Each structure stands twice: as structure tokens, then as C-alpha cells.
Structure 1
Amino acid sequence: MLDDGLLNIIDPEEIYALHIAPMSEGIITTKARNPYADYKGIQITLKNTKERTALIKFTKKLFLQLQNVSPESKFWDNKNLLDPNIGLGNPNTIFKDYITVNSNIAVKEGEDKITIRAYLSAEKETQLDSLLSQIKKKFKESDYSDQFLDSSFYYETALVLNDERLTLLTIPTISKIYGNEHVLPLYGAIPDGRGDDFALFQREIPGVYFLLGASNFEKGIVSMPHSPNFAVDESCMKTGVNYFTSMIIERLK
């Protein structure tokens, strides 16, 4: 749509999105900046020498040391995202300030080079920016400094980044009209490495991405996206229309 010139036709000043989430029906949430974790693929390129076995082991260890979440942490159970004590709705949430590393680290050996790749995620969109220089520094200080060739990001999700001003304007609007109990503060970031194409629009237009609850736990309806038992309380369609219609009317004023 962007490549076909949609923005030249409609020339929008603001843009909004609404996505189903596993919260109770009637709840809406978002936050300034990124509601999802930043997710990148990182690669290190090394000389292929007779020390390659030790070199690969050293590099894998270097990757895994970037992670600051214990394997035994409740962080890894998605059900805890909604926990009132440690979930995303609590200022002291465990889903904050984290970096994770996928343990499935890929190694590709060529005649002259070795490429080692891993996937990383981070709660803040700036946390991963300094990792390339950190890794380079650690290599230069190691016994393998002569084997290091390069470090780079080779993949990244389109990260949703909510406009801070519009976020602060729209959340109170919905809260004022429909009640504070329906607007859940969001702390931290959802740590599943997903992005959204809406992020591509946000690069061109300031906007906000909201999460809308569609679960009814009493009826056993859990609206966890991309899961085999996904279900939805269809009342959320009316709720979403009401919230967004009211919010947009207030913005047009």
C-alpha cells in the first residue's frame, strides 16, 4: 500500500491500530514507544582456522552471556503476562529491562569464514544498539582477536513504536469516557519476538497501536493470538468500535 502511493491519496495526519490480546473483554491497553520487544538476528563473521572448534564454542558462550533472564524464571511462561503481581500491568513487572537469546545458535562454515547467528530480543528498542560494539570489544580483548572479522544485524522485525504525544492524548480519552477500570496501564514489553506491519505505517505517520482484550475466562475463552486454542468473545467487536469511534471523534475536535 505504501509503495502504491496510498499516503499520497489520503494524506493521513495520524494512524491507529487495534489488535486482539488475551486480556478480559472490555480491557484496552497500550504504552508510549514499543509494546512489543525489539527482535533482531545478529551474526558474527570469523576466520576459519584450525582453532575453529574453540572459536565457535567461545562465540556461542559470548552470545548466551548476553541474556539476563534466568532459565528458571517465570518470565518464560506466557500466562504470567497477565499476572497481577509480575505481569505487564504491574509497574514492577518481570517483563522489563530484559535481553533474551534463542539457544538455537546457527553455525555456517565456509572455506575461509565461519558465520555464527543468533536471535535476540530486548524490552527497550535501544538496548541492542550497543551490542555490536560490545561484542567486537570482547573479541579484541580475547585470545581470538585475530580471527574476528565482523559483527552485524542481519534481520529485524518491524518494531511498533507508538507516538508518545498521541499515546498520552488518547489513553485518557478512552479512560474518561468508559472508565478507568477498562484502561490497563502497560509496563514492559511483550517478549515473544513478534512485530506488526502497522510499524511500517508508523514510520511515515505518527500513530498508536492498542491491544484489546477478547477473553472471557469464566466461559473458558482465551484469546491468546497465534495459539492452537485461540478463541474470542465476540463482544469485543462492539467494544473496540465504541472505544475507537469515541477516541477518533475526540481527536477530530
Structure 2
Amino acid sequence: MKLLKTLSLALTMSVTPALSQAKDDAKSNPFAQRAADIQSELIELRRDFHRHPEVAGEEVRTAQKVADYLDGLGLEVTTDIGGHGVIGLLKGSKPGKTVVWRADMDAMHSDEPDPVSFKSGIEGKRHICGHDVHTTIGLGIAKVLSERKAELAGNIYFLFQPAEETLHGAQAMINDGALDLMHADEIYGAHVSPLQVGVISAKPNMVFADWHHLEIRFNGNENTAEITALIDQIIAGQLRTNTDIQLWKPENYLHPEYGVANPNTVYKDYLLLSQSAKTRDTNQQLSIRTAFLTTNTDDLETVIIDLKAKLAKSPYADRLININASQRVPAVTNNEELTRASRAYLLNLGDNTEIGTHYGVLPFMTDDFAYFQQKIPGVYFFLGGSNFQQGVIAAPHTPNFQVDESAIEIGVRTFAALLSERAQR
């Protein structure tokens, strides 16, 4: 817990210079009061999801509650898309664009004690990534918007995605026709983050680093240690940073002076080796696997060319079979125009939400929201969920993960306003 408090303090300090308070003369958020009115209802809904966590592929109860809720609002509901995915359509009364709000639903495996009073009722499973909050916010947005349907333009889809934690759900929904159903112009989503509650952040272009995997296969399984060391050496020679700082450490990427929220961050251009090469012997063949993180998508080709050239000059040249590259999931990459337009609108919304930005690319695994962004221009936001004064730290995938539930009201009022604005032509 001490480490998490330290990291959160660093994040708070690093984000503060980039924040911009809404202008005093800005227009008021038309959804703020209604979001406040239904906050207690939404908190109970979130706590119900939290008590009944369902991991990827098992989101039966969650999906049913989501579908029932949307149906009760009068939305057109489609279920069982890409597994347990649910899509609800809210049709506005005026011509406009088609925009999508995505929320993920699945929980995670965890044997750590649940620190909240509304504890998980399923042993070994918990919501420690905030998807219970994401699902609730999505439903809250649908509710406040549906109540003002006569004022809305365009079509607003609410996409509730299963299996984000396994990075399979988004592609499964796409394969099952989700995009063909929606014909969307824009897509938006948000993830709970360790930011202080009341802060929302987004940046244009790449948000998370590209994570590439390489498999290098050789005939025979002799000289395993020597070949593995050579692969590590070649990859290490391609590493690129402009600093001696260990970029993968949380205390560094949250640092106020050179972390991701500082305009002068050291996280703008790098290629990092994420792990040492791993070996596997199969049928008299040696398979060596390694991975790296990069902010430049051209690095993959460069690394492969270098590997082939140096292995061709090595004692193992005649044993090389092939080099295969793979990417478990692409990097979340925000559309530049939509990000700037969205931030500009939110800065002028005038509901006391602080709109921040970050400048660096985060050096860890991405979100499969990226698959939707490959097909539809979109923006991925970070929603503050921590309350440092109360010791509530919303650091996903950590044992003591908690969320200040006022983030629900903030998410509903802010993103309801944004979606209604973006749906207007």
C-alpha cells in the first residue's frame, strides 16, 4: 500500500501542471443535475456488479443485467455478440452522426482480500480493473441521454464488451458483425486510472506502446544458451531511449519532472526489451521467443532486418529456419482531430471536471479498444478514480484496487454531454 500511495502522489504532482480548469463563463453541463440525481442508483448497480464478478467468457449475469437495463430505457438491444457482448441503440429525434460508447464488463482472477465493504461473493474472482465501474457509467450515460431523446441528434450506440482482460472480446465482437450493425462514425471509451477523482485525461495519437513478439526458430537444439544470449544481445543493440532512467518502473513514468504528464517527458521515443529470450525445444528444433515495446511502429521491420543480418554472420546461420513476428493486440491510438475536438469541448463544459493531458506513451500492455479504433476514429480517456486523502487508489490490477465512486457521476455527466455533442452534424 505504501508503494501505491507513493505512485499516486507522483501521478498527482505530474498531472497538475497539465490541467486546465473550465472557464468561469463556460456553458453549464445539461446532464450534471440528472447524473447527480441517479448517483445512488448507479452506486448500487456498480456494487451489484462488484459482488458478482464474471471473468472473460463467463459474463452471463452481467450481460443479462445490462441488456435488461437498456431494454427498460427503451433502447433497441442486441445480445450475444462476440460471446456475451451487448449493444444498445438510442435513436435521436434529429439527423446526426452515429457515435459509440464502449464499456468493458469482465472481471479478473484474484485471490487477494477484497478491501471494500461490498466484497466479491465469488471466490478467486474480483473486479480489480474497474470494469464494474465502466459498465455502470455506460448504463448511466444511456439513462440520462434516453430521458432527453427528443433533444438528441443522430444515433448513439452503447457497446458493452466481454473479454477485455484476455484481449479477445473486441475482435470477437467485430468478427460477429458489431461494426456492420452500427455503421459508426466515431467511438469513445474510458478507463479508470490512478488519477485523482475529478480529473479526466486524454492525448492524441499513440497512448500505449506497441508490444511486439518475435519467435526465432533453429534446426537442432544444441547451443541453446549461446544462441539465446546472442538473440538478447542483438535485440539489446536495438534498444532506444534518450535517458538512463528505467522507463518501465512505475515510479518513473509517474514522475512529475520527466514522467508521461510532463511536456518534456522522456517517454516520447523509446524501444524497450520487455523480457529476456525464452526457449522451447520441439521436435529437434529450438524456438526462442522475445518481446519489445516501442513508440515507433517502424521498429519491428528494423529489428527483424538486424536480427537476420547478424544471425547470417553467426556460427548458427545454417540452422536458422525463420523469424516470425506477432502482436497480441495493437496499441491504443487516439484520433488526433477527435481528441483535440473532444478536449476543447470538455474544457468549455463548465462542470468543475478538470481536463488534463499526458504527453508520453505508456510502456505497458494496451487495451483491445484498439481494434475498434482501427476501424472507427475514436478517443480513449483516462478517468480519475483515486481519492488520495482517503487512501483510495485506483491502480488497476493491484491487490488493493479501489475506486472513489463519485467517479461514476463524473463519468456519466461528462461523457453524456460529449456524446450528445459529437452526434450532432
1:54 to 226, 240, 244: 226
Q: How far 1:208 sits from its partner (Å)?
A: 1.0
TM-score, L = length of structure 2: 0.54
Do the aligned residues in 1 keep the contact of 2:221 with 2:281 (CA within 8 Å)? no
Are the equivalent residues in 2 in contact too, given 1:105–1:117 (CA < 8 A)? yes
User: Are residues 1:6 and 2:178 paired?
Assistant: yes
Cα distance in 1 for partners of 2:404, 2:319 equals 56
**Which SS does the other structure have where 1:209 is aligned?**
strand
The corresponding residue for 1:197 is 368
Partner of 2:217: 45
SS of the aligned residue for 1:16 comes to strand
Cα 1:82–1:184 change in 2 (3 A) is farther
**Is the partner of 2:349 in helix, strand or coil?**
helix
Q: Distance in 1 between matches of 2:300 and 2:347?
A: 34
Contact preservation (8 Å) 2:198, 2:353: no
What corresponds to 1:213 in structure 2? 384
Q: Which amino acid aligns with 1:150?
A: N
- Is residue 174 of structure 1 aligned with residue 346 of structure 2? yes
Partner residue of 2:285? 113
3-state DSSP class of the match of 2:330? Answer: coil
Which residue is 1:127 aligned to?
299
Identity of aligned residues (%): 30
What is residue 223 of structure 1 aligned with on the other side? 394
The residue aligned with 1:36 is 208
CA distance in 2, matches of 1:49, 1:108: 9
Residue 193 of structure 2 contacts residue 394 of structure 2 at CA under 8 Å; is this kept in 1?
yes
Secondary structure at the aligned position of 2:421 is classed as: helix
* Partner of residue 240, structure 1: 411
CA spacing shift, 1:77–1:28, aligned 2, 3 Å: same
Which letter maps to 1:32? Answer: P
CA contact (8 A) 1:159 1:199 kept: yes
* Partner Cα distance (2:391, 2:254) in 1: 16
Equivalent position of 1:162 in the other structure: 334
Larger Rg: 2
In structure 2, what residue type is equivalent to 1:216? N
Pick from 298, 311, 327 the counterpart of residue 139 of structure 1: 311
Measured after TM superposition, the shift of residue 180 of structure 1 is: 10
Q: CA separation of 1:70/1:110 partners in 2, compared to 1, >3 Å: closer, same or farther?
A: farther
In structure 2, relative to structure 1, the CA distance for the partners of 1:126 and 1:22 (3 Å cut) is farther
SS of the residue corresponding to residue 363 of structure 2 reads coil
Change (3 A) 1:178 1:83: farther
Corresponding residue SS for 2:341: helix
TM-score (norm 1): 0.87
TM-superposed CA distance for 1:123, in Å, is: 2.6
Confirm or deny that 1:93 pairs with 2:261: no
Deviations along 1:191-227, whole A, 9 cap, x unmatched? 12x2222122222211111111111111111111111
User: Would you say the 8 A contact 2:332–2:366 is kept in 1?
Assistant: yes
C-alpha RMSD over aligned residues: 2.6
Structure 2 CA distance for partners of 1:42 and 1:178, relative to 1, 3 Å: farther
Q: Which residue of 1 aligns with 2:188?
A: 16
**For 1:130, what is the secondary structure of its paired residue?**
helix
Give, in whole Å, the separation in 2 of the partners of 1:174 and 1:119. Answer: 38
Give the conservation status (yes or no) of the 8 Å contact 2:272–2:293: yes
Quick one: which amino acid aligns to residue 92 of structure 1? N
Whole-angstrom CA distance in 1 between matches of 2:243 and 2:259: 17
Equivalent of 1:66 in 238, 243, 247 = 238
| Greater alpha carbon shift after TM alignment, 68-77 vs 213-222 | 68-77
| Per-residue deviation, 1:52 | 4.8
1:153 alignment counterpart: 325
Query: Which structure's relative contact order is higher, taking Cα pairs within 8 Å and 6+ residues apart?
Result: 1
Residue identity matched to 2:406: S
Q: Which residue of 1 aligns with 2:254?
A: 82
* Shift, 1:111, TM fit: 4.8
For structure 1, which segment, 223-232 or 40-49, has the greater mean C-alpha deviation from structure 2 after superposition? Answer: 40-49
Q: Is the 8 A contact 2:245 2:252 kept in 1?
A: no
Count of aligned residue pairs for this structure pair: 252
Out of 77-86 and 46-55, give the one that drifted further. 46-55
What one-letter code is carried by the residue in structure 2 that aligns with 1:95? Y
Per the TM alignment, residue 237 of structure 1 is displaced from its structure 2 partner at its CA by 1.1
Structure 2 vs 1, CA of residues 47 and 9 (structure 1 numbering), >3 Å: closer, same or farther? closer
Structure with the higher fraction of residues in helix conformation: 2
Instruction: Give the conservation status (yes or no) of the 8 Å contact 2:201–2:356.
Output: yes
1:75-114 superposed Cα distances (whole Å, 9 cap, x missing partner):
2331333322111111221323122223342112345432
Unaligned stretches of 5+ residues in structure 2: 1-172
Matched residue type, 1:122:
T
1:178 to 1:40, Cα distance in 2 relative to 1, 3 A? farther
Change (3 A) 1:234 1:180: closer
Deviation at 1:60? 2.7
Q: Aligned in 2, Cα 1:145/1:180: closer, same or farther, shift over 3 Å?
A: farther
